[in-house]
């Protein structure tokens, strides 16, 4: 081996010093560069892993919310249909009441009108009788006057 070293002109002391320098550089880089980079990569990996778990949890939560939304919407639609049905029934009942009231009122007005017409007719008839009686008396007086003349 000594022949190879002398043949290539390798200085063993310089080679040992270079090996020590390389080892020291390797230790310094390992301590100040490699360990922090590994810690940073591990922290990033954990953060990404947590992000994936959170995304999966959010997806599950979203599907739960969607199904709950569907059931709430179905329930709300049923309730709305019930309210509309009640409103329609109430409106129909109110319409019947209003029609009954209108019929009663129209019957009352009609009865009052008939009574008023009967009363007017009776008054006109009495007035006519009285006028006829006056005319008969005046006619009789005229006849009597003519006979006397």
For the chain, the domains span 2-148
- Using pLDDT thresholds of 50, 70 and 90, give the confidence band for residue 4: confident
Distance CA 93, CA 73 (A): 30
- Per-residue pLDDT, averaged over 106-114, amounts to 93
Q: Note the pLDDT tens digit of each residue in 19-74.
A: 999 999 999 999 999 999 999 999 999 999 999 999 999 999 999 999 999 999 99
Buried b (16+ CB within 10 A) or exposed e, 57-77: eeeeeeeeeeeeeeeeeeeee
């Amino acid at each position: 081996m000594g022949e190879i070293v002398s043949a290539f002109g390798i200085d063993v002391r310089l080679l040992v010093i270079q090996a020590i320098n390389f080892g020291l550089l390797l230790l310094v880089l390992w301590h100040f560069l490699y360990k922090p980079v590994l810690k940073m990569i591990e922290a990033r990996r954990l953060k990404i892993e947590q992000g994936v778990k959170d995304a999966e949890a959010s997806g599950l939560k979203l599907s739960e919310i969607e199904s709950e939304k569907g059931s709430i919407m179905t329930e709300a639609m049923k309730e709305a249909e019930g309210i509309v049905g009640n409103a329609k029934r109430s409106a129909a009942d109110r319409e019947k009441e209003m029609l009954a009231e209108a019929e009663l009122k129209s019957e009352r007005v009609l009865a009052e009108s008939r009574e008023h017409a009967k009363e007017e007719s009776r008054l006109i008839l009495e007035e006519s009788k009285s006028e006829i009686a006056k005319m008969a008396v005046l006619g009789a007086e005229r006849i009597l006057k003519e006979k006397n003349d």
